[in-house]
């Protein structure tokens, strides 16, 4: 059990440094990856491609974004009131 936790902690990764967003305020990083994933997903499903290529963006935004923001944005997309351009 202890080993499992230690290896788990060693293997734990998060979003790497992105030089496009070098400052402390990472809001834009979260936002941009959220947009990029959903744009990628929309484009791939429209062309009948493989959505798994979009996985990177999803992993980044799921790591960086506050969960309340994500549920808010997902609700907005469902209602058609999401302000971003996807």
Partner 1 sequence: MTHQMHAYHMVNPSPWPLTGALSALLITSGLMMWFHSNSIFLLVLGLITNILTMFQWWRDIIREGTFQGHHTPIVQKGLRYGMILFIISEVLFFTGFFWAFYHSSLVPTTELGGYWPPAGIKPLNPLEVPLLNTAVLLASGVSVTWAHHSILEKDRINAIQALIVTISLGLYFTLLQIMEYYESPFTIADSVYGSTFFMATGFHGFHVIIGSSFLFICLMRQLKFHFTSNHHFGFEAAAWYWHFVDVVWLFLYVSIYWWGS
- Name the residues that contact partner 1, by CB under 8 A: 27-28, 31, 35, 83-85
Rounded-to-integer distance, Cα 61 and Cα 29, Å: 8
With left for phi above 0 and alpha for psi between -120 and 50, is residue 80 left, alpha or beta? Answer: left
**For partner 1, which is the closer residue by CB, 8 or 85?**
85
Contact 77, 38 (CB under 8 A): yes
The least CB distance from residue 26 to partner 1, in Å, is 12
**For partner 1, which is the closer residue by CB, 3 or 79?**
79
Residue 86 tokens read as 């996807």
**For partner 1, which is the closer residue by CB, 34 or 54?**
34
The least CB distance from residue 72 to partner 1, in Å, is 10
């Amino acid at each position: 059990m202890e080993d499992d936790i230690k290896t788990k902690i060693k293997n734990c990764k998060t979003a790497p440094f992105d030089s496009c967003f070098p400052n402390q305020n990472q809001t834009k990083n979260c936002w941009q990856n959220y947009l990029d994933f959903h744009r990628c997903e929309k484009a791939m499903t429209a062309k009948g491609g493989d959505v798994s290529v979009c996985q990177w963006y999803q992993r980044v935004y799921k790591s960086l974004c506050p969960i309340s923001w994500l549920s808010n944005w997902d609700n907005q997309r469902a209602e058609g009131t999401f302000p971003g351009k996807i």
